[in-house]
Amino acid sequence: MALKLLDILFPPKCVFCRKRIDEGYVCRDCASSLPRCGKIRGRGEFFSSVTAPFYYKDTVRGAILRYKFSRRRGYARGFAPFMAEKAREELEGEYDIITWVPVSRARLRKRGYDQSRLLAENTARLLGREAVPTLRKKRNTGANSSLEGREARAANVLGAFQVPDPETVRRRRVLLVDDIYTTGATLSECSRMLLMAGAEDVICLTLAAKPGSDRKY
Provide the pLDDT confidence category of residue 1 given band limits of 50, 70 and 90: very low
Residues 144 and 172 in one domain: yes
* 106-163: pLDDT as tens digits: 999 999 999 999 999 999 999 999 999 999 999 877 676 656 666 787 777 777 899 9
Residues 138 and 56 in one domain: yes
Residues 7 and 107 in one domain: no
* 170-181: pLDDT as tens digits: 999 999 999 999
Instruction: Identify the CA nearest to 199 among candidates 121, 99, 86.
Output: 99
| Averaged pLDDT, 6-15 | 70
Provide the pLDDT confidence category of residue 3 given band limits of 50, 70 and 90: very low
The answer to whether 147 touches 156, Cβ cutoff 8 Å, is yes
pLDDT at 158: 77
Residues 130 and 184 in one domain: yes
| Averaged pLDDT, 9-23 | 87
pLDDT at 117: 98
Exposure of 163 in the CB half-sphere (CA atoms within 13 A) = 22
DSSP 197: T
Residues 101 and 182 in one domain: yes
pLDDT at 206: 97
Provide the pLDDT confidence category of residue 45 given band limits of 50, 70 and 90: confident
Residues 21 and 84 in one domain: no
Q: What is the CATH number of the domain that holds 188?
A: 3.40.50.2020
Residues 82 and 188 in one domain: yes
pTM of the entire predicted model: 0.90
CA–CA gap between residue 9 and residue 47 (Å, rounded): 45
pLDDT at residue 4 greater than cutoff 60: no
| Averaged pLDDT, 177-198 | 95
Provide the pLDDT confidence category of residue 8 given band limits of 50, 70 and 90: very low
Q: Between residues 214 and 107, which one has the greater pLDDT?
A: 107
pLDDT at residue 41 greater than cutoff 80: no
**What are the angstrom distances between the C-alpha of 114 and each of 117, 172, 180?**
5, 24, 14
* 62-98: pLDDT as tens digits: 999 999 999 999 999 999 999 999 999 999 999 999 9
Residues 107 and 120 in one domain: yes
Domain span at residue 181 reads 35-215
Residues 21 and 98 in one domain: no
Residues 136 and 188 in one domain: yes
Residues 3 and 49 in one domain: no
Total number of domains constituting the chain: 2
β-pairing, 136-137 vs 97-100, is unpaired
